Amino acid sequence: MNKPLGKAHEARLTRHRAQGKIHAKAVQGRFNTARWVMVWLTQIVFYGLCWLNWDSADGRRQAVLFDIPGQKLYVFDLILWPQDALILAFVLIIAATALFLVTALAGRLFCGFACPQTVYTSIFTWIEARIEGDHLARRKLDASPSHPRKLLRKAVKHTLWSIVAGWTAITFVGYFTPIRELLPALAQLNISPWETFWLIFYAVFTYVQAGLAREAVCQHMCPYSRFQGVMFDPATRNVAYDRRRGEPRGQKQQDGKCIDCAICVQVCPTGIDIRDGLQYQCINCGLCIDACDQVMDRIGAARGLIRFASEHELSAAAYNPPWYSRPRVLIYSILGVIFCTLAAWTLHERPELRLDILRDRGALLRETPDGLIENAYTLKLINFAERPREFAISVTGVPGAEIVGTHRFSADPGSLRTLSLTVAAPADTTLSGIQPLYFKVQAEDDPSVHIREKSSFALPGLR
Ligand code: SF4
Ligand code: SF4
Protein backbone atom coordinates (compact mmCIF):
# COMPACT_ATOMS: atom_id res chain seq x y z
CA MET A 1 0.00 0.00 0.00
CA ASN A 2 1.17 3.53 -0.71
CA LYS A 3 2.08 5.60 2.25
CA PRO A 4 -0.32 8.62 2.53
CA LEU A 5 1.18 11.76 1.07
CA GLY A 6 2.22 14.61 3.31
CA LYS A 7 -0.13 17.63 3.29
CA ALA A 8 2.38 19.98 1.67
CA HIS A 9 3.30 17.43 -0.91
CA GLU A 10 -0.31 16.62 -1.68
CA ALA A 11 -1.06 20.32 -2.09
CA ARG A 12 1.91 20.63 -4.47
CA LEU A 13 0.67 17.75 -6.61
CA THR A 14 -2.89 19.03 -6.64
CA ARG A 15 -1.64 22.45 -7.70
CA HIS A 16 0.49 20.88 -10.41
CA ARG A 17 -2.47 18.97 -11.85
CA ALA A 18 -5.06 21.69 -11.40
CA GLN A 19 -3.23 24.29 -13.45
CA GLY A 20 -5.44 23.53 -16.41
CA LYS A 21 -2.32 23.59 -18.48
CA ILE A 22 0.62 21.43 -17.51
CA HIS A 23 3.99 23.14 -17.41
CA ALA A 24 6.37 20.23 -16.99
CA LYS A 25 9.76 20.75 -15.41
CA ALA A 26 12.65 20.30 -17.86
CA VAL A 27 14.86 17.30 -17.24
CA GLN A 28 18.10 16.04 -18.76
CA GLY A 29 18.96 12.40 -19.25
CA ARG A 30 19.18 9.57 -21.74
CA PHE A 31 15.44 9.40 -22.49
CA ASN A 32 15.20 13.15 -22.98
CA THR A 33 18.18 12.92 -25.35
CA ALA A 34 16.53 10.03 -27.22
CA ARG A 35 13.33 12.08 -27.54
CA TRP A 36 15.21 15.00 -29.08
CA VAL A 37 17.15 12.73 -31.39
CA MET A 38 13.78 11.47 -32.66
CA VAL A 39 12.46 15.04 -32.98
CA TRP A 40 15.46 15.97 -35.13
CA LEU A 41 15.37 12.79 -37.20
CA THR A 42 11.64 12.92 -37.96
CA GLN A 43 11.65 16.63 -38.70
CA ILE A 44 14.75 16.54 -40.90
CA VAL A 45 12.98 13.88 -42.95
CA PHE A 46 9.60 15.65 -42.96
CA TYR A 47 10.81 19.20 -43.67
CA GLY A 48 13.68 18.11 -45.91
CA LEU A 49 12.39 15.30 -48.10
CA CYS A 50 10.05 17.47 -50.14
CA TRP A 51 13.05 19.58 -51.24
CA LEU A 52 14.91 16.60 -52.60
CA ASN A 53 14.88 16.33 -56.38
CA TRP A 54 15.41 13.08 -58.21
CA ASP A 55 16.79 12.30 -61.65
CA SER A 56 14.45 9.76 -63.13
CA ALA A 57 13.96 8.40 -66.65
CA ASP A 58 11.22 10.98 -67.27
CA GLY A 59 13.37 13.90 -66.12
CA ARG A 60 14.15 15.70 -62.87
CA ARG A 61 11.27 15.80 -60.42
CA GLN A 62 10.50 15.90 -56.69
CA ALA A 63 11.68 12.62 -55.16
CA VAL A 64 8.53 12.03 -53.10
CA LEU A 65 5.31 13.42 -54.52
CA PHE A 66 1.64 12.47 -54.36
CA ASP A 67 0.54 13.63 -57.81
CA ILE A 68 -3.23 13.56 -57.34
CA PRO A 69 -4.23 14.99 -60.77
CA GLY A 70 -1.85 12.52 -62.47
CA GLN A 71 -3.00 9.70 -60.14
CA LYS A 72 0.61 8.75 -59.33
CA LEU A 73 2.71 8.45 -56.22
CA TYR A 74 6.40 9.03 -56.82
CA VAL A 75 8.82 7.55 -54.30
CA PHE A 76 12.28 8.06 -55.77
CA ASP A 77 12.42 5.66 -58.75
CA LEU A 78 9.23 3.90 -57.85
CA ILE A 79 5.98 5.11 -59.43
CA LEU A 80 2.76 3.77 -57.95
CA TRP A 81 -0.60 3.95 -59.68
CA PRO A 82 -4.12 3.50 -58.34
CA GLN A 83 -3.79 -0.08 -59.63
CA ASP A 84 -1.01 -0.56 -57.04
CA ALA A 85 -3.36 0.07 -54.13
CA LEU A 86 -2.58 -3.44 -52.87
CA ILE A 87 1.07 -2.46 -52.28
CA LEU A 88 -0.01 0.62 -50.32
CA ALA A 89 -2.43 -1.55 -48.34
CA PHE A 90 0.45 -3.89 -47.49
CA VAL A 91 2.58 -0.94 -46.37
CA LEU A 92 -0.19 0.20 -44.02
CA ILE A 93 -0.71 -3.33 -42.67
CA ILE A 94 3.04 -3.75 -42.10
CA ALA A 95 3.18 -0.40 -40.26
CA ALA A 96 0.23 -1.42 -38.06
CA THR A 97 1.79 -4.84 -37.35
CA ALA A 98 5.12 -3.19 -36.46
CA LEU A 99 3.28 -0.83 -34.11
CA PHE A 100 1.52 -3.77 -32.43
CA LEU A 101 4.82 -5.65 -32.10
CA VAL A 102 6.65 -2.69 -30.58
CA THR A 103 3.71 -2.11 -28.23
CA ALA A 104 3.71 -5.75 -27.11
CA LEU A 105 7.46 -5.55 -26.43
CA ALA A 106 7.84 -2.07 -24.96
CA GLY A 107 4.44 -0.41 -24.53
CA ARG A 108 3.71 2.97 -26.08
CA LEU A 109 7.22 3.67 -27.35
CA PHE A 110 5.78 5.20 -30.52
CA CYS A 111 3.73 7.67 -28.45
CA GLY A 112 6.68 8.79 -26.38
CA PHE A 113 9.23 9.17 -29.14
CA ALA A 114 7.83 9.27 -32.66
CA CYS A 115 4.15 10.32 -32.56
CA PRO A 116 3.71 13.67 -34.36
CA GLN A 117 1.68 14.92 -31.39
CA THR A 118 4.62 14.29 -29.05
CA VAL A 119 7.18 15.65 -31.49
CA TYR A 120 5.33 18.91 -32.20
CA THR A 121 4.39 19.40 -28.57
CA SER A 122 8.11 19.13 -27.74
CA ILE A 123 8.95 21.77 -30.35
CA PHE A 124 6.18 24.14 -29.24
CA THR A 125 7.06 23.70 -25.55
CA TRP A 126 10.72 24.37 -26.33
CA ILE A 127 9.74 27.66 -27.99
CA GLU A 128 7.52 28.50 -25.01
CA ALA A 129 10.36 27.87 -22.56
CA ARG A 130 12.71 30.14 -24.58
CA ILE A 131 10.19 33.01 -24.43
CA GLU A 132 8.51 32.59 -21.05
CA GLY A 133 11.15 30.81 -18.99
CA ASP A 134 11.15 27.54 -17.06
CA HIS A 135 8.06 25.76 -15.73
CA LEU A 136 7.85 27.91 -12.59
CA ALA A 137 8.21 31.16 -14.53
CA ARG A 138 5.57 30.01 -17.01
CA ARG A 139 3.15 29.10 -14.25
CA LYS A 140 3.74 32.45 -12.59
CA LEU A 141 3.27 34.31 -15.85
CA ASP A 142 -0.02 32.50 -16.53
CA ALA A 143 -1.32 33.37 -13.07
CA SER A 144 -0.25 37.01 -13.23
CA PRO A 145 -2.68 39.76 -14.31
CA SER A 146 -2.37 41.13 -17.82
CA HIS A 147 0.42 43.62 -18.21
CA PRO A 148 2.37 44.81 -21.26
CA ARG A 149 5.35 42.49 -20.62
CA LYS A 150 3.09 39.47 -20.29
CA LEU A 151 1.17 40.40 -23.43
CA LEU A 152 4.38 40.96 -25.36
CA ARG A 153 5.77 37.56 -24.37
CA LYS A 154 2.53 35.81 -25.24
CA ALA A 155 2.38 37.65 -28.57
CA VAL A 156 5.96 36.64 -29.46
CA LYS A 157 5.27 33.02 -28.47
CA HIS A 158 2.07 32.78 -30.50
CA THR A 159 3.75 34.43 -33.47
CA LEU A 160 6.57 31.88 -33.41
CA TRP A 161 4.07 29.04 -32.99
CA SER A 162 2.12 30.37 -35.99
CA ILE A 163 5.30 30.48 -38.10
CA VAL A 164 6.14 26.86 -37.25
CA ALA A 165 2.52 25.77 -37.84
CA GLY A 166 2.42 27.67 -41.15
CA TRP A 167 5.68 26.19 -42.39
CA THR A 168 4.52 22.72 -41.35
CA ALA A 169 1.35 23.21 -43.41
CA ILE A 170 3.36 24.43 -46.44
CA THR A 171 5.61 21.37 -46.14
CA PHE A 172 2.62 19.04 -45.91
CA VAL A 173 0.97 20.50 -49.01
CA GLY A 174 4.41 20.46 -50.69
CA TYR A 175 4.13 16.67 -50.85
CA PHE A 176 1.05 17.04 -53.08
CA THR A 177 2.02 20.11 -55.11
CA PRO A 178 5.75 20.30 -55.92
CA ILE A 179 7.06 22.60 -53.20
CA ARG A 180 9.24 24.55 -55.62
CA GLU A 181 6.06 25.48 -57.51
CA LEU A 182 3.92 25.94 -54.40
CA LEU A 183 6.06 28.63 -52.78
CA PRO A 184 6.10 31.10 -55.71
CA ALA A 185 2.38 30.45 -56.29
CA LEU A 186 1.73 31.15 -52.61
CA ALA A 187 3.77 34.35 -52.75
CA GLN A 188 1.58 35.52 -55.64
CA LEU A 189 -1.60 34.27 -53.90
CA ASN A 190 -2.18 32.09 -56.92
CA ILE A 191 -3.06 28.77 -55.31
CA SER A 192 -6.03 26.49 -55.91
CA PRO A 193 -8.99 26.24 -53.51
CA TRP A 194 -7.95 22.80 -52.24
CA GLU A 195 -4.38 23.99 -51.61
CA THR A 196 -5.79 26.98 -49.71
CA PHE A 197 -8.05 24.70 -47.67
CA TRP A 198 -5.29 22.26 -46.71
CA LEU A 199 -2.79 25.03 -45.90
CA ILE A 200 -5.24 26.68 -43.52
CA PHE A 201 -6.53 23.41 -42.09
CA TYR A 202 -3.09 21.91 -41.43
CA ALA A 203 -1.67 25.14 -39.98
CA VAL A 204 -4.62 25.55 -37.58
CA PHE A 205 -4.53 21.84 -36.75
CA THR A 206 -0.81 21.95 -35.85
CA TYR A 207 -1.18 25.16 -33.86
CA VAL A 208 -4.17 23.91 -31.83
CA GLN A 209 -2.90 20.36 -31.29
CA ALA A 210 0.71 21.14 -30.39
CA GLY A 211 0.35 24.59 -28.87
CA LEU A 212 -2.99 24.61 -27.09
CA ALA A 213 -4.28 21.05 -26.64
CA ARG A 214 -0.93 19.29 -26.01
CA GLU A 215 -1.26 16.46 -23.47
CA ALA A 216 -5.07 16.67 -23.64
CA VAL A 217 -4.80 14.99 -27.05
CA CYS A 218 -2.97 12.02 -25.49
CA GLN A 219 -5.33 11.92 -22.53
CA HIS A 220 -8.73 12.41 -24.14
CA MET A 221 -8.55 12.26 -27.93
CA CYS A 222 -6.08 9.54 -28.87
CA PRO A 223 -7.89 6.23 -29.56
CA TYR A 224 -4.61 4.31 -29.41
CA SER A 225 -4.24 5.02 -25.69
CA ARG A 226 -7.61 3.35 -25.09
CA PHE A 227 -6.96 0.06 -26.84
CA GLN A 228 -3.22 -0.30 -26.29
CA GLY A 229 -3.96 -2.44 -23.23
CA VAL A 230 -5.14 -5.33 -25.40
CA MET A 231 -1.62 -5.56 -26.86
CA PHE A 232 0.04 -5.81 -23.48
CA ASP A 233 0.82 -8.97 -21.57
CA PRO A 234 2.59 -9.40 -18.22
CA ALA A 235 5.94 -9.50 -20.04
CA THR A 236 5.44 -6.14 -21.83
CA ARG A 237 8.01 -3.63 -20.66
CA ASN A 238 6.53 -0.27 -19.73
CA VAL A 239 7.75 2.67 -17.75
CA ALA A 240 6.99 1.43 -14.24
CA TYR A 241 7.68 2.25 -10.63
CA ASP A 242 9.34 -0.50 -8.60
CA ARG A 243 6.99 -0.56 -5.64
CA ARG A 244 8.97 -3.32 -3.90
CA ARG A 245 12.04 -1.10 -3.83
CA GLY A 246 10.33 2.25 -3.35
CA GLU A 247 7.77 1.63 -0.60
CA PRO A 248 7.17 2.76 2.03
CA ARG A 249 7.96 6.24 0.78
CA GLY A 250 9.85 8.61 2.96
CA GLN A 251 13.27 9.80 4.00
CA LYS A 252 13.76 7.80 7.17
CA GLN A 253 16.27 4.99 7.53
CA GLN A 254 13.62 2.27 7.49
CA ASP A 255 11.77 3.67 4.46
CA GLY A 256 12.05 2.46 0.87
CA LYS A 257 14.11 4.22 -1.79
CA CYS A 258 11.36 6.63 -2.90
CA ILE A 259 11.99 9.84 -0.98
CA ASP A 260 8.64 11.21 -2.16
CA CYS A 261 10.20 14.25 -3.83
CA ALA A 262 7.54 14.17 -6.64
CA ILE A 263 10.07 15.28 -9.24
CA CYS A 264 8.90 12.37 -11.40
CA VAL A 265 5.43 13.98 -11.41
CA GLN A 266 6.74 17.47 -12.12
CA VAL A 267 8.59 16.38 -15.25
CA CYS A 268 5.70 14.32 -16.62
CA PRO A 269 4.28 15.97 -19.77
CA THR A 270 0.86 14.40 -19.08
CA GLY A 271 0.90 15.31 -15.40
CA ILE A 272 0.46 11.83 -13.95
CA ASP A 273 2.15 10.05 -11.06
CA ILE A 274 3.71 6.85 -12.36
CA ARG A 275 3.77 5.54 -8.79
CA ASP A 276 0.00 5.08 -9.07
CA GLY A 277 0.66 2.25 -11.54
CA LEU A 278 0.17 1.82 -15.28
CA GLN A 279 -2.17 4.51 -16.62
CA TYR A 280 -3.56 5.06 -20.11
CA GLN A 281 -2.31 8.67 -20.00
CA CYS A 282 1.32 7.52 -19.79
CA ILE A 283 3.03 7.92 -23.17
CA ASN A 284 6.15 5.98 -22.13
CA CYS A 285 8.42 8.96 -22.73
CA GLY A 286 10.79 7.94 -19.94
CA LEU A 287 11.26 11.49 -18.59
CA CYS A 288 10.27 10.33 -15.10
CA ILE A 289 13.04 7.72 -15.37
CA ASP A 290 15.58 10.47 -16.13
CA ALA A 291 14.29 12.51 -13.18
CA CYS A 292 14.27 9.64 -10.71
CA ASP A 293 17.70 8.39 -11.79
CA GLN A 294 19.09 11.83 -10.91
CA VAL A 295 17.42 11.63 -7.50
CA MET A 296 18.85 8.15 -6.94
CA ASP A 297 22.32 9.43 -7.90
CA ARG A 298 21.96 12.23 -5.37
CA ILE A 299 20.98 9.93 -2.50
CA GLY A 300 23.58 7.33 -3.49
CA ALA A 301 21.06 4.61 -4.38
CA ALA A 302 21.04 2.38 -7.43
CA ARG A 303 19.26 3.81 -10.49
CA GLY A 304 16.09 2.22 -11.85
CA LEU A 305 13.50 2.84 -9.15
CA ILE A 306 11.43 3.90 -12.17
CA ARG A 307 12.46 1.98 -15.26
CA PHE A 308 11.24 0.06 -18.29
CA ALA A 309 10.10 -3.16 -16.65
CA SER A 310 7.40 -5.76 -17.08
CA GLU A 311 4.95 -7.02 -14.49
CA HIS A 312 7.02 -10.21 -14.32
CA GLU A 313 10.23 -8.28 -13.65
CA LEU A 314 8.59 -6.22 -10.92
CA SER A 315 7.16 -9.31 -9.23
CA ALA A 316 9.01 -11.47 -6.73
CA ALA A 317 10.14 -13.75 -9.60
CA ALA A 318 11.96 -10.83 -11.29
CA TYR A 319 12.13 -12.83 -14.51
CA ASN A 320 10.89 -12.02 -18.00
CA PRO A 321 10.25 -14.87 -20.44
CA PRO A 322 12.15 -14.58 -23.76
CA TRP A 323 10.25 -12.90 -26.61
CA TYR A 324 9.97 -16.11 -28.67
CA SER A 325 8.01 -17.81 -25.91
CA ARG A 326 5.34 -15.11 -25.95
CA PRO A 327 2.41 -16.02 -28.29
CA ARG A 328 1.46 -12.39 -28.90
CA VAL A 329 4.97 -11.37 -29.93
CA LEU A 330 5.35 -14.49 -32.08
CA ILE A 331 2.05 -13.88 -33.89
CA TYR A 332 2.89 -10.22 -34.63
CA SER A 333 6.39 -11.23 -35.81
CA ILE A 334 5.07 -13.97 -38.11
CA LEU A 335 2.38 -11.65 -39.50
CA GLY A 336 5.03 -8.99 -40.12
CA VAL A 337 7.24 -11.44 -42.05
CA ILE A 338 4.26 -12.72 -44.07
CA PHE A 339 3.07 -9.23 -45.05
CA CYS A 340 6.62 -8.05 -45.89
CA THR A 341 7.05 -11.11 -48.13
CA LEU A 342 3.69 -10.54 -49.80
CA ALA A 343 4.48 -6.85 -50.36
CA ALA A 344 7.90 -7.65 -51.86
CA TRP A 345 6.38 -10.36 -54.09
CA THR A 346 3.57 -8.05 -55.25
CA LEU A 347 6.10 -5.33 -56.06
CA HIS A 348 8.34 -7.76 -57.92
CA GLU A 349 5.48 -9.26 -59.90
CA ARG A 350 3.99 -5.89 -60.75
CA PRO A 351 3.19 -5.92 -64.50
CA GLU A 352 5.18 -3.53 -66.64
CA LEU A 353 2.12 -2.60 -68.63
CA ARG A 354 -1.62 -2.58 -68.28
CA LEU A 355 -4.29 -2.39 -70.95
CA ASP A 356 -7.93 -1.30 -70.77
CA ILE A 357 -10.10 -1.53 -73.88
CA LEU A 358 -13.27 0.46 -74.43
CA ARG A 359 -15.51 -0.12 -77.41
CA ASP A 360 -16.75 2.91 -79.33
CA ARG A 361 -20.27 3.34 -78.04
CA GLY A 362 -21.37 5.55 -80.94
CA ALA A 363 -21.49 2.96 -83.72
CA LEU A 364 -21.24 -0.77 -83.12
CA LEU A 365 -19.96 -1.52 -86.62
CA ARG A 366 -19.42 0.17 -89.97
CA GLU A 367 -19.40 -1.40 -93.43
CA THR A 368 -16.87 0.04 -95.87
CA PRO A 369 -17.41 0.25 -99.68
CA ASP A 370 -14.69 -2.41 -100.19
CA GLY A 371 -16.62 -5.03 -98.16
CA LEU A 372 -14.93 -4.73 -94.78
CA ILE A 373 -16.54 -4.49 -91.36
CA GLU A 374 -14.91 -1.95 -89.02
CA ASN A 375 -15.19 -1.62 -85.23
CA ALA A 376 -13.69 1.30 -83.31
CA TYR A 377 -11.95 1.06 -79.93
CA THR A 378 -10.22 3.26 -77.38
CA LEU A 379 -7.19 1.64 -75.78
CA LYS A 380 -5.73 2.92 -72.52
CA LEU A 381 -2.26 1.59 -72.00
CA ILE A 382 -0.14 2.30 -68.92
CA ASN A 383 3.60 1.92 -69.33
CA PHE A 384 4.74 1.22 -65.75
CA ALA A 385 8.39 0.96 -66.85
CA GLU A 386 10.89 3.64 -65.87
CA ARG A 387 11.87 4.16 -69.53
CA PRO A 388 10.12 5.10 -72.75
CA ARG A 389 9.02 2.12 -74.79
CA GLU A 390 7.93 1.21 -78.30
CA PHE A 391 5.00 -1.18 -78.48
CA ALA A 392 3.45 -3.29 -81.25
CA ILE A 393 -0.21 -4.12 -81.17
CA SER A 394 -2.01 -7.02 -82.89
CA VAL A 395 -5.45 -8.66 -82.85
CA THR A 396 -6.59 -12.28 -83.04
CA GLY A 397 -9.86 -14.17 -82.66
CA VAL A 398 -11.72 -13.05 -85.79
CA PRO A 399 -10.46 -14.48 -89.12
CA GLY A 400 -8.80 -11.81 -91.26
CA ALA A 401 -9.12 -9.09 -88.59
CA GLU A 402 -6.41 -6.41 -88.78
CA ILE A 403 -5.69 -3.03 -87.34
CA VAL A 404 -6.29 -0.21 -89.74
CA GLY A 405 -3.29 2.09 -89.99
CA THR A 406 -0.29 2.00 -87.73
CA HIS A 407 -0.01 -0.72 -85.14
CA ARG A 408 3.15 0.67 -83.51
CA PHE A 409 3.29 3.40 -80.91
CA SER A 410 5.49 4.73 -78.15
CA ALA A 411 4.74 5.47 -74.49
CA ASP A 412 6.64 7.64 -72.04
CA PRO A 413 7.91 6.17 -68.77
CA GLY A 414 5.22 5.85 -66.12
CA SER A 415 2.58 7.25 -68.46
CA LEU A 416 -0.93 6.55 -69.63
CA ARG A 417 -1.26 6.46 -73.40
CA THR A 418 -4.74 6.68 -74.92
CA LEU A 419 -5.14 5.36 -78.49
CA SER A 420 -8.08 5.36 -80.87
CA LEU A 421 -7.95 2.27 -83.07
CA THR A 422 -10.02 0.77 -85.81
CA VAL A 423 -10.08 -2.97 -86.48
CA ALA A 424 -11.33 -4.24 -89.83
CA ALA A 425 -12.41 -7.77 -90.83
CA PRO A 426 -13.87 -9.19 -94.09
CA ALA A 427 -17.65 -9.14 -94.16
CA ASP A 428 -17.85 -12.55 -95.87
CA THR A 429 -16.66 -14.50 -92.83
CA THR A 430 -18.83 -17.40 -91.68
CA LEU A 431 -19.13 -15.72 -88.30
CA SER A 432 -21.85 -13.28 -87.34
CA GLY A 433 -22.98 -11.24 -84.37
CA ILE A 434 -20.66 -10.41 -81.44
CA GLN A 435 -17.39 -12.36 -81.55
CA PRO A 436 -14.50 -12.37 -79.08
CA LEU A 437 -11.49 -10.35 -80.19
CA TYR A 438 -8.10 -10.42 -78.45
CA PHE A 439 -5.70 -7.48 -78.37
CA LYS A 440 -2.03 -8.20 -77.77
CA VAL A 441 0.42 -5.41 -76.90
CA GLN A 442 4.09 -6.29 -76.85
CA ALA A 443 7.20 -4.25 -76.05
CA GLU A 444 9.53 -4.04 -79.06
CA ASP A 445 12.66 -4.22 -76.93
CA ASP A 446 11.54 -7.14 -74.75
CA PRO A 447 9.04 -9.74 -76.04
CA SER A 448 8.53 -11.02 -72.49
CA VAL A 449 6.78 -7.73 -71.71
CA HIS A 450 3.36 -8.21 -73.24
CA ILE A 451 -0.29 -8.21 -72.33
CA ARG A 452 -3.36 -9.83 -73.93
CA GLU A 453 -6.85 -8.54 -73.26
CA LYS A 454 -10.21 -9.74 -74.47
CA SER A 455 -12.75 -7.48 -76.16
CA SER A 456 -15.43 -8.09 -78.78
CA PHE A 457 -15.98 -7.53 -82.49
CA ALA A 458 -19.42 -6.85 -83.94
CA LEU A 459 -20.24 -8.48 -87.29
CA PRO A 460 -23.45 -8.24 -89.27
CA GLY A 461 -26.26 -10.55 -88.16
CA LEU A 462 -26.81 -9.00 -84.74
CA ARG A 463 -30.06 -9.84 -83.11
S1 SF4 B 1 11.46 10.89 -8.47
FE2 SF4 B 1 11.88 8.86 -7.62
S3 SF4 B 1 12.24 9.28 -5.48
FE4 SF4 B 1 11.23 11.10 -6.26
S5 SF4 B 1 9.05 10.72 -5.91
FE6 SF4 B 1 9.50 9.98 -7.93
S7 SF4 B 1 9.89 7.81 -7.64
FE8 SF4 B 1 10.09 8.76 -5.62
S1 SF4 C 1 4.62 8.77 -16.30
FE2 SF4 C 1 6.74 8.96 -17.02
S3 SF4 C 1 6.81 7.87 -18.94
FE4 SF4 C 1 4.66 8.21 -18.45
S5 SF4 C 1 4.17 10.09 -19.52
FE6 SF4 C 1 4.75 10.67 -17.44
S7 SF4 C 1 6.94 11.10 -17.58
FE8 SF4 C 1 6.39 10.00 -19.44
Residues of the chain within CATH 2.60.40.10 domain(s) are 353-458
Ligand 2 atom nearest residue 112's Cα = 8
Instruction: Provide the strand spans (E) within 85-189.
Output: none
pLDDT, one tens digit per residue, over 125-168 is 999 999 999 999 999 999 999 999 999 999 999 999 999 999 99
CB 290 within 8 Å of CB 29: yes
pLDDT, one tens digit per residue, over 41-85 is 999 999 999 999 998 766 789 999 999 988 889 999 888 888 889
| pTM of model > 0.85 | no
Cα–Cα distance measured from residue 196 to residue 11, given in angstroms and rounded to the nearest whole number: 48
Q: Residue range 236-251: average pLDDT?
A: 92
pLDDT for residue 255 is more than 90 = no
- DSSP H/E element including 381: strand 372-383
Residue in 290, 291, 273 with CA at minimum distance from that of residue 282: 273
Indicate the class that CATH gives domain 353-458: mainly beta
pLDDT, one tens digit per residue, over 375-386 is 999 999 988 887
pLDDT for position 266:
94
pLDDT, one tens digit per residue, over 335-359 is 999 999 999 999 988 888 989 999 8
Read off the pLDDT band of 3 (50, 70, 90): very low
- Cα-Cα-Cα-Cα torsion 43, 45, 48, 50, nearest 10 degrees, comes to -120
Three-state DSSP at 336 gives: helix
Q: How far apart are the first and last CA of the chain?
A: 89
288 lines ligand 2 (CB under 6 A): yes
- Closest ligand (CA of 107): 2
pLDDT for position 101:
94
pLDDT, one tens digit per residue, over 12-36 is 555 555 556 789 999 999 999 999 9
Other beta carbons within 10 angstroms of residue 2's beta carbon come to 15
CA distances, 30 to each of 42, 105, 135, 282, 416 (Å): 18, 20, 21, 18, 52
CB 71 within 8 Å of CB 317: no
pLDDT, one tens digit per residue, over 173-220 is 999 999 999 999 999 999 999 999 999 999 999 999 999 999 888 888
Q: Report the separation in Å between the CA atom of 303 and the middle of ligand 1, taken as the mean of its atom positions.
A: 11
- Closest ligand (CA of 218): 2
Q: Report the separation in Å between the CA atom of 302 and the middle of ligand 1, taken as the mean of its atom positions.
A: 13
